[in-house]
Amino acid sequence: MPNKTDVPAEGPAFQEICWPWLARVKAWHVWLVYALLIGGLGASRIGVMKLYGPDDYMRLLEVRDLLAGQGWFDLRQYRMNPPIGADMHWSRLVDLPLAFFIVLLKPLFGQPLAEGAAVIFVPLLELGCAMALSAALLKKLGTSQVLQVTGATLVAFFPMLIFNFSPGRIDHHGWQAICLLAAALCLVRINSPRAAFVGGALAAVQLAISLEGLPLVATLAALYGLVFVLWAIPAVVWFLSGLALFSLVLFATAREPGAYQVLHCDVVSWPHLVAFAISALLAGFAVRLFREKGPIWRAAGLLPLPLVAMPLVYGVLGVCAINPFADLDPFLKQEWYMQIREGMPIYAQGVKAVTTVFWVGGLIIAGYVSIVRGDEDRDRRRAWMLLFLLAIVAWILSLVVYRSTIFAQVLAIPFAAVLLGIYLPRARAISSPLLRIVLTIVCGVAILPLVTSELVAKVGNQPDDAPPPQVANGRNSCVIKDLGKLKPSHLFTTLSLGASIIASTHHTVVAGNYHRNGEKIREVLLAFEGNPANAERLVKANHADYVVICARLPGGKGETARRRDSLINNLQRGDVPDWLQPVNGLGHSLLRVYRVR
């Protein structure tokens, strides 16, 4: 019986009824077109080193410091809260691709151009990886070459994916999504012990990059356990072995010797390593003792894994085991962390984000229902089922923490590609020209969350979900490089501007949006948003030479506070306290600078 992922139930194959030349297109052709287009569009943006956000600037600073001689184990940013510095929990793994391109190109073009090229090439490299993995996953799932290329193409039409794979976006989220997608490719190769071991290694890399991937790594382990319970395939042992071994290797190369016993909520610590190792050993015993028995016995054999591993981690780390921000001060959690939209649940998002999230969930479910109906290949049905379960968990996670949407979107690609392969040929086969054109457009729009969310926002007359950029060129933005006209100084600025200021100028700042530095974050929040009577004391206690803000756009968004008489609101209205003196002549942007008297 024909497989619906290759040939629709009615009519000829996808490439025959749509566009025959698609059969000659490869995934790398699609990437090359996108790379030239997106890279070209991003070149002017990078010429002035305009990155997407504070974390991108901070990533560049981490790479600069590493290449300037700062130690591999030393992640502290010393130009934030000097001379103590700001403690960072990031992984050096994400620094390596950027450092490679900068070292390679610096002798030829100098440091500024080498950095500019690196922040273009690395996201495009990530885009190429995502496209290649999407095509490889669809190939393993039994689809035609045309649908494999379709999957690669769709990567650029999912909003969270194209955002994280665009020039100037060098944060860690893109690499995490790539690790998950590669682990999913290993997962669907359920009969390969080598693939399962590599999948465990990839899960370890994902956790080393950021511990926020732990729920999905746990889901992968559970799915490998399900494979053993249902089909007696012992891949769970290989997955957990790869996870335990590579977690240990990455832990040893990321932590300074002598600090292995230090516990942190936001990175892999020794309790995780012990739990992974014990789980691998218990899985090995379960496979040896119960593989030849029935599903109930195999399930009972794996039951000790969570019963031992979870209490071990929770017993040592406490609430940190399930919440990396558990040790955050209640004031900071309420006044700072809960105000960062990407870390909030779906109900805190705008209409475009909500539409995208639920549309992606619909694509996953509709795609899976369409696939399994009529496909009698047992191994393929199993592979699709495992991918579906992983994608659904990722989607549920995106409802709880919005930034996890990138995981759901990258796993939704195969389902969206197959839906397009099933229904677009049917629309193209309709004899009526008008109806054929209309349904062809509907098929394309329905598969693309990027288009759908934009249409919903336009029809509903809803504003953009994202705030306007604060760091750019022009009168309607803040030109941070204008601060270079001042002599090197210590600046008291809002949290969102801190990283971009120290990346673009010779100044130092008090704090940025990095949670391990809670005391300084608190002081900045209290000074700008709290009782204005305390602002002068807090600013001068930090020995700041200047106060810097980004002014509100007329009638638009900008940094403000709920307290009407706060310092930030007073400055936005032009009501400058007598202990500050406005500094003029730095440019014509929205940047506002005040000398501390």
| DSSP-derived secondary structure for 488-508 | S-EEEE-GGGHHHHHHHSS-E
Calculate mean pLDDT across residues 32-38.
85
pLDDT tier for residue 20 given thresholds of 50, 70 and 90: low
pLDDT in tens, 222-234: 999 999 999 999 9
pLDDT given at position 72: 93
pLDDT tens string 381-390 = 999 999 999 9
- The pLDDT-based confidence of 555 (bands split at 50, 70, 90) is low
Q: Residue type at 528?
A: F
Measured distance CA(471)–CA(465) in Å, rounded: 18
Q: What is the pLDDT of residues 129-160, one digit of tens each?
A: 999 999 999 999 988 888 899 899 999 889 99
Secondary structure of 216-253 in HEC code, one letter for each residue: HHHHHHHHHHHHHHHHCCCHHHHHHHHHHHHHHHHHHH
| CB-based contact 528:535 (threshold 8 Å) | yes
Please determine, for residue 98, whether its predicted confidence score (pLDDT) is greater than 90. yes
**Do residues 386 and 227 touch, judged by C-beta distance below 8 A?**
yes
- Give 403's Cβ-side CA count (13 Å radius): 14
Judge whether residue 178 has pLDDT over 90: yes
Work out whether strand 591-596 and strand 546-550 pair parallel, antiparallel, or are unpaired: antiparallel
**What residues are paired with 591 via a beta bridge?**
550
Residue range 559-571: mean pLDDT, rounded: 90
Helix pair angle (214-231, 235-254), 10° resolution = 160
Q: What pLDDT, on a 0 to 100 scale, did the predictor assign at position 270?
A: 92
Q: What is the pLDDT of residue 561?
A: 84
Pairing of strands 508-509, 490-493: parallel
Q: How far apart are CA 513 and CA 518, in angstroms?
A: 9
Q: How much is the pTM?
A: 0.91
Amino acid sitting at position 169: R
211, amino acid identity: L
pLDDT of residue 377: 80
**Is the distance from CB of 530 to CB of 336 less than 8 angstroms?**
no
Helix (H, G, I), strand (E, B) or coil at 592: strand
The most confident of the ranges 250-264, 358-372, 470-484 is 358-372
Positive or negative torsion for Cα 83, 496, 101, 45: negative
Note the pLDDT of residue 459: 65
Helix (H, G, I), strand (E, B) or coil at 519: helix
Confidence of residue 281 (pLDDT cuts 50, 70, 90): very high
Round the average pLDDT of the chain to a whole number and report it.
88
For the residues 148-176, what does the mean pLDDT come to? Answer: 91
DSSP 3-state of 15: helix
With a cut of 60, say whether residue 475 has pLDDT above it: no
What is the pLDDT confidence band of residue 343, given thresholds at 50, 70 and 90? Answer: confident
Q: What is the pLDDT of residues 494-510, one digit of tens each?
A: 999 999 999 999 999 99
